[in-house]
């Protein structure tokens, strides 16, 4: 249809910037955030709005603050992180990711050769790119490597060994497999020698002569010879900074060993790769992997490495200590967050440990979930589509810098020691201090562990798994709570509900969860209107020796003292009150209590 010449012309389009109306000041954010925190009673009514920073900030075990909001001021004076693929490699050792994500690396440790061979094929056919094989004592027999790898295209799928007891024998066996197939080893293949890690774990052999021989075996194959496995200290309870500092110290020691044996410094650097733990603390994990690359680049610079060998090849493994044997399916959530953080942080390869890893040798279902976790993040969530997606975030850049500086300082102290034994002793002493600090926070449930210290299912049926032939020593964060669960109390605690359901449910739930975390079952009395109702419920429950009052402060004030007296006369030997009011109970319990100490005391009362 022809246009009507008499119609009024349309006004010209006005381009409005996308940012128009979105500019806000820091003070506006503080005001809006403070309003929310005051409603939830996390900020006092008379507190200044600026206090939101301290309320929302978290502090790592290295005493590094993780800010709730990144601002330009945080990163204004930080060193340039460069571009992906360029020194200092903070933003990644490559400009793009060849696989559109990361190398999905599966872990194999089952000594049953037939099972492992089947698992290898299944994993490679369903999304796995490389194989991490525990070989020798406690793993796949070295003379069975050829059988396990027979159907594997080793020129396409990197093979990474972990053989602390027989590193040289395992390396020779893998080299023979590659030679028999008449192909070049896939980039990323590693013989995985790590005598320093073996020394720290107190397992395997410490033989630097064998390490040099492994390096000479690996070099013509284009493989890596040494893996600096920083999970050795992480599994003992190390913090992020301690893990980073240890990896630098071990890496420098290996550089010295190789160069003293005649390798050029660039050749030596190209024979070393690194393994770090990824935890469910998302931002510290992202920053740790970025800081590790920056730190190793600095070591390489000082050592005279001027090529791409200065770029750190990283293998991320989801943390063993963070995983729990109770309510193990929650481990799927933990490992998903950890894998996401490792991928965003730029790890070249990521191993998601199966959710049942704390229970024993994984089964096909848990292996499938583990490999699919990475597949989902890469193929469906497209986490790896962008190199260093956290780069430029003021908060992440600041956290990266803080970790790097703290780790460099600790590395200097470790490297200044006069022997390997002294260096490892220093690392152990710093790790022990962290273990104690973390344990106290976990005991007070300031660092909650879902399914164990919080929201436990006391009557769950754990899946059964075959035991590991030679299990690693791992400092599980949930270990002390799980030790109580392993030996549940044979008597319950009576929850003396005071008042209607609405007035006692909150504290009854708190108390029941707390007792269950220590392997102690509870019997709830139900809604009541006074002392007589509670006593009737107590009688029906069989008069348990330990009683916990759960109710509203108003009920405590009105008839709490009378109830305590009546319960004692009826047979209660130990009375606890959920709250902080004094009504004559033997003890009170509230949020922030040392839950482990409290639970141990309750269990002692139950055995009287």
For residue 261, the tally of other CB atoms under 10 A from its CB is 15
Element (H, E) at 567: helix 561-570
pLDDT, position 525 = 87
Residues (pLDDT < 70) of the chain are 1-21
Query: Where exactly are the structural domains of the chain?
Result: 103-426, 487-606
CATH T-level topology, domain 103-426? TIM Barrel (3.20.20)
The CA R_g of the chain, rounded to the nearest whole Å, is 29
> How far is it, in rounded angstroms, from Cα 418 to Cα 501?
66
Amino acid 458: pLDDT: 93
Token digits of residue 133:
């094989």
| Predicted pLDDT at 1 | 43
Instruction: Tell me, rounded to whole angstroms, the distance of Cα 555 from its chain centroid.
Output: 43
* Bridge partners of residue 226, in order along the sequence: 193, 272
CA-based torsion, 485, 437, 55, 402: positive or negative = negative
Question: Do residues 121 and 151 touch, judged by C-beta distance below 8 A?
Answer: yes
What span, in angstroms and rounded, lies between the C-alpha atoms of 596 and 358?
21
Buried b / exposed e along 72-81 (16+ C-beta atoms within 10 A):
eebbeeeeeb
- Name residue, tokens 């410490």: 206
pLDDT at 10: 62
pLDDT tens digits, one per residue of 135-173: 999 999 999 999 999 999 999 999 999 999 999 999 999
Give 423: exposed, middle or buried? Use CB within 10 Å, 0-12, 13-18, 19+.
buried
Which of 63, 71, 82, 92 has its CA nearest to residue 27?
71
Backbone angles phi, psi at 575, to 5 degrees: -115, 130
Under a CB-based contact definition with an 8 Å cutoff, are residues 550 and 539 in contact? no
Residues in the chain: 608
In this structure, the number of other CB atoms found within 10 A of the CB of residue 491 comes to 15
Helices 479-486, 501-517: axis angle to 10 degrees equals: 90
What CATH number labels 487-606?
Answer: 3.40.50.280
DSSP 124: H
Could you give phi then psi for residue 422, rounded to 5 degrees? Answer: -65, -40
In the chain, the N- to C-terminal Cα span, in Å, equals 97
Structure tokens at 585: 């109970």
Query: SS3 string of 531-562?
Result: HHHHHHHHHHCCCCCEEEEEECHHHHHHHHHH
- Residue that has been written with the tokens 């490297």 in this structure: 415
314-318 and 493-498 beta bridge pairing: unpaired
- The dihedral sign for the CA sequence 537, 541, 545, 549: negative
d(C-alpha 15, C-alpha 18), whole Å: 9
The DSSP line for 61-98 is TTS-EE-SS--HHHHTTSPP---TTSTT-TT-SSSS-T
Question: For residue 99, what pLDDT is reported?
Answer: 77
State yes or no: cis peptide before 88, omega within 30 of 0.
Answer: yes
């Amino acid at each position: 249809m022809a246009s009507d010449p008499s119609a009024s012309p349309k006004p010209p389009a006005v381009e409005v910037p996308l940012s128009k109306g979105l500019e806000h000041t820091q003070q506006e954010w503080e005001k809006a955030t403070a309003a929310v925190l005051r409603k939830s009673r996390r900020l006092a009514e008379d507190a200044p709005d600026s206090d939101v920073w301290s309320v929302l900030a978290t502090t790592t075990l290295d005493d590094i603050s993780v800010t709730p909001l990144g601002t330009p001021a945080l990163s204004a004076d930080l060193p340039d992180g460069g571009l992906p693929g360029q020194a200092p490699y903070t933003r990644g050792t490559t400009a793009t990711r060849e696989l559109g994500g990361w190398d999905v690396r599966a872990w194999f440790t089952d000594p049953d050769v037939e099972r492992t061979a089947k698992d290898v094929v299944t994993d490679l056919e369903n999304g796995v790119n490389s194989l991490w094989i525990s070989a020798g004592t406690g793993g796949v027999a070295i003379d069975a490597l050829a059988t396990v790898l027979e159907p594997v295209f080793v020129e396409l799928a990197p093979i990474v060994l972990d053989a602390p007891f027989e590193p040289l024998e395992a390396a020779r066996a893998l080299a023979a497999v590659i030679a028999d197939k008449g192909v070049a080893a896939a980039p990323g293949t590693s013989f995985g020698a790590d005598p320093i890690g073996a020394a720290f774990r107190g397992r395997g052999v410490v033989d630097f002569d064998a390490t040099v021989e492994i390096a000479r075996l690996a070099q013509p194959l284009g493989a890596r010879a040494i893996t600096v496995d920083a999970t050795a200290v992480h599994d003992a309870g190390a913090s992020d900074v301690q893990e980073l500092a240890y990896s630098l110290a071990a890496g420098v020691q290996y550089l010295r060993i190789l160069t003293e044996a005649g390798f050029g410094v660039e050749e030596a650097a190209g024979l070393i790769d690194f393994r770090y733990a990824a935890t469910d603390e998302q931002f510290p994990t992202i920053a740790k992997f970025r800081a590790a690359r920056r730190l190793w680049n600095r070591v390489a610079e000082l050592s005279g490495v001027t090529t791409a060998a200065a770029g750190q090849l990283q293998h991320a493994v989801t943390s063993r200590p963070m995983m729990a044997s109770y309510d193990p399916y929650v481990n799927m959530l933990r490992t998903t967050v950890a894998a996401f953080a490792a991928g965003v942080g730029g790890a070249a390869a990521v191993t998601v440990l199966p959710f049942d890893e704390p229970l024993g040798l994984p089964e096909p279902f848990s292996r499938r979930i583990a490999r699919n976790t990475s597949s989902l993040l890469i193929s469906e969530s497209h986490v790896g589509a962008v190199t260093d997606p956290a780069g430029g975030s003021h908060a992440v850049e600041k956290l990266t810098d803080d970790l790097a500086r703290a780790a460099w300082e600790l590395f200097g102290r470790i490297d200044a020691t006069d022997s390997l034994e002294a260096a490892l002793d220093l690392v152990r002493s710093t790790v022990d201090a962290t273990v104690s600090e973390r344990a106290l926070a976990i005991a007070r449930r300031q660092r909650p562990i879902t399914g164990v210290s919080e929201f436990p299912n006391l009557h769950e049926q754990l899946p059964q798994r075959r035991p590991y032939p030679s299990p690693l020593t791992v400092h599980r964060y949930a270990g002390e709570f799980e030790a109580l669960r392993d030996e549940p109390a044979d008597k319950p605690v009576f929850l003396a509900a005071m008042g209607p359901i609405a007035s006692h449910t909150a504290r009854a739930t708190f108390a029941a969860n707390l007792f269950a975390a220590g392997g102690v079952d509870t019997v709830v009395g139900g809604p009541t209107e006074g002392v007589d109702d509670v006593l009737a419920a107590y009688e029906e429950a069989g008069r348990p020796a330990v009683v916990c009052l759960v109710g509203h402060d108003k009920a405590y004030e009105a008839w709490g003292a009378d109830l305590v007296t009546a319960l004692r006369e009826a047979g209660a030997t130990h009375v606890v009150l959920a709250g902080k009011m004094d009504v004559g109970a033997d003890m009170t319990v509230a949020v922030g209590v040392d839950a482990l100490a409290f639970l141990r005391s309750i269990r002692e009362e139950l055995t009287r």
